[in-house]
Amino acid sequence: MMKGKGILSPNLKLSLPPPAETSFAKFLTESGTFKDGDLLVNKDGVRIVSKSESEAPPPIKPSETDSDDQLNLDDIDAIKVIGKGNGGIVQLVQHKWTGQFFALKIIQMNIEESARKQIAKELKINQSSQCPYVVVCYQSFYKNGAISIILEYMDGGSLADFLRKVKSIPEPYLAAICKQVLKGLMYLHHEKHIIHRDLKPSNLLINHRGEVKITDFGVSAIMTSTSGLANTFVGTYNYMSPERIIGDNYGYKSDIWSLGLMLLECATGQFPYSPPNQAEGWTNFYELMEQIVEQPPPSASSDQFSPEFRSFISACVKKDPNERKSAHELLGMPFLNMYDGLDVDLSSYFNNSGSPLASLELMWQLVTYFVTYLFRKLVFTMMRYNISGHFFISKTYKATPTVSPSFWQSAYGTSNQFMLHVQIETMDGYSRLPPNVTDPSSTLA
């Protein structure tokens, strides 16, 4: 039977949250402090109230927020708006006394209750997270009907911004980016028991130092343990895992599905799921979700990508979450380490994004790397073939390399490990390599 455009298959059911509205006054104390559960925020900062405290704790005082270098909204100057979203903006700000830059996220709280709950959840996660792969939150305030969150400023913008410049990201750089993201996910999943639930290129921020950090915990779920499950329908539909779309219970591995789609998008420059009509695109999100649920998972092309990358993507986008690997397991896969021999400098790559020089440098590194690899294999094969340990050549000679000494040193180690550089011995008019060089147990390979 033919299905009309945009009509859901009868087998595909969506779990959507019911609408809910509550007066904002419910979240304010008499002193004007924003309160949600154990979270308190006012003009002096944020505090998590312990269960042992009274139901009406005293308002936050500046002394309770510690240290002499405490950030305050009065001590920062707004420079420009660097982002906009539903109900809020993000400004680039500068500290008046130190000159340090920060990102200031300002959210007007005259929004529906579900959004306010998400903000409260984000504040709690920001308050407790300390990880080099998660964007730092320095302080949060509630003042004049708005929540203000002072965050680490990531001067490279988002990975989505970067992808728009470069169109696609080569495997060596993807591996370096992915390592950092997985370490951030390991921290969130195993130490903080948090499912991010909205992992996508725009929620990964980069900076000039080559750092990649996870941000935006507004729709994250805080679980009671590493084996916990959630069942709410929040996040960006495009990157949502099949089990989440159909309303099944889901866990930390729903983030792994999102990671796989995101990496494939970065590698190809296109979102992995193609609309039925490329010219029209997706007419509604139901079409996309139906394809995610009913079609086989996307894969990386064997013509364009290494077997290691293809295997990595496959491990991320298994439709059965029980078959997906965890962040910890993915960190041990060959793809993440296969380019360790290259000088993969994310800092230079991010700073020179889109420049011809950056592309040429990477191409030269890749050619050098694979030529070196093939030559090593050739030398080692020749040595294995010469079982006696004697490799005869017709006359004594000394080869002169046509590339820089640093190339040979990086490729083969010290010069006495490379057969064209060894001292050649003479025997009965012939020359041979010393046995220690032709010994297959040597450190050539």
CATH number at residue 323: 1.10.510.10
Q: How far is CA 198 from CA 244, 325, 392, in A?
A: 12, 18, 63
Domain that holds residue 297: 159-351
CA distance 310 to 162: 23
Tokens of 337: 């380490």
Query: Does residue 327 register a pLDDT over 90?
Result: yes
Q: Examine residue 111 and state whether it is found in any structural domain, yes or no.
A: yes
Q: Is 13 annotated as a binding residue?
A: no
Same structural domain, 179 and 270: yes
Cα separation, 168 vs 171, whole angstroms: 10
**CB-based burial, 164-181: b 16+ in 10 Å, e otherwise:** eebeebbbbbbbbbbbbb
Least confident of 132-141, 206-215, 259-268, 422-431: 422-431
Please identify, among 311, 330, 351, the residue that sits at the C-terminal boundary of a domain: 351
What integer is the mean pLDDT of 330-340?
Answer: 96
Both structure tokens of 347? 């800092």
Query: Is 214 within a domain?
Result: yes
Whether residues 102 and 196 fall in one domain? no
| Whole-number Å distance between alpha carbons of 392 and 310 | 43
Instruction: Give yes or no: residues 163 and 187 share one domain.
Output: yes
Inside any domain, residue 381: yes
Q: Is residue 2 part of a domain?
A: no
First-to-last C-alpha distance (Å) of the chain: 60
Q: In this structure, is residue 363 part of a structural domain?
A: yes
- Mean pLDDT, the chain, whole residue set: 74
287 or 338, which is more confident: 338
Name the residue among 319, 416, 290, 338 with its Cα closest to residue 4.
290
* pLDDT band with cut points at 50, 70 and 90 for residue 168: very high
CB contact set of 2 (below 8 Å; sequence gap of 6+): none
Q: What would the two tokens of residue 208 be? A: 């000039």
Alpha-carbon distance 147 to 120, whole Å? Answer: 10
User: What mean pLDDT comes out for the span 73-101?
Assistant: 89
**If you average pLDDT over residues 333-348, what whole number do you get?**
94
Task: Based on the fold, state whether residues 326 and 234 are members of the same structural domain.
Answer: yes
- State the residue for tokens 């709690």: 124
For 268-273, what is the mean pLDDT?
Answer: 94
pTM comes to 0.68
What are the tens digits of pLDDT across the range 207-237? Answer: 999 999 999 876 566 554 454 555 454 557 8
pLDDT band at 301 (very low <50, low <70, confident <90, very high): very high
CA distance 200 to 289: 16
Residue 12 falls within a domain, yes or no? no
Does residue 275 share a domain with residue 172? yes
Question: Exactly one of 66, 68, 155, 198 is catalytic; which is it?
Answer: 198
Domain total in the chain: 3
For residues 56 and 128, state if they share a domain. yes
pLDDT band of 341, cuts 50, 70, 90 = confident
Q: What is the structure's pLDDT at 51?
A: 52
Question: pLDDT: is 445 or 231 the higher one?
Answer: 231
191 and 292 both lie in a single domain: yes
Can you tell me the distance from the alpha carbon of 393 to that of 20, in angstroms, rounded to the nearest whole number? 85
Q: Would you say residue 16 lies in a domain?
A: no
Question: At which of 290, 319, 351 does a domain end?
Answer: 351
Cβ–Cβ under 8 Å, residues 250 and 229: yes
pLDDT value at position 190? 92
Asked whether residue 330 carries a pLDDT value surpassing 70, the answer given is yes
Q: What is the CATH number of the domain that holds 37?
A: 3.30.200.20
Q: Which of these three, 86, 118, 152, is where a domain ends?
A: 152
Is residue 347 domain-shared with residue 388, that is, in the same domain?
no
135 and 177, same domain (yes or no)? no
**178 lies in the same domain as 301:** yes
Residue 239 lies in a domain: yes
Q: Are residues 191 and 326 in the same domain?
A: yes
Among 221-230, 283-292, 337-346, where is mean pLDDT lowest? Answer: 221-230
Task: Give the tokens for residue 406.
Answer: 């640093």
**141 and 275 fall within a common domain:** no
Q: Which residues pair with 76 in a beta bridge?
A: 95
255 is catalytic: no
| Residue 299: predicted pLDDT | 96
pLDDT tens for residues 366-381?
666 667 767 777 777 7
Confidence category of residue 279, pLDDT binned at 50, 70, 90? low
Least confident range from 165-169, 229-233, 329-333, 406-410: namely 406-410
Give 31-70 pLDDT, tens digit per residue: 556 665 555 665 555 555 555 544 444 443 433 444 445 7
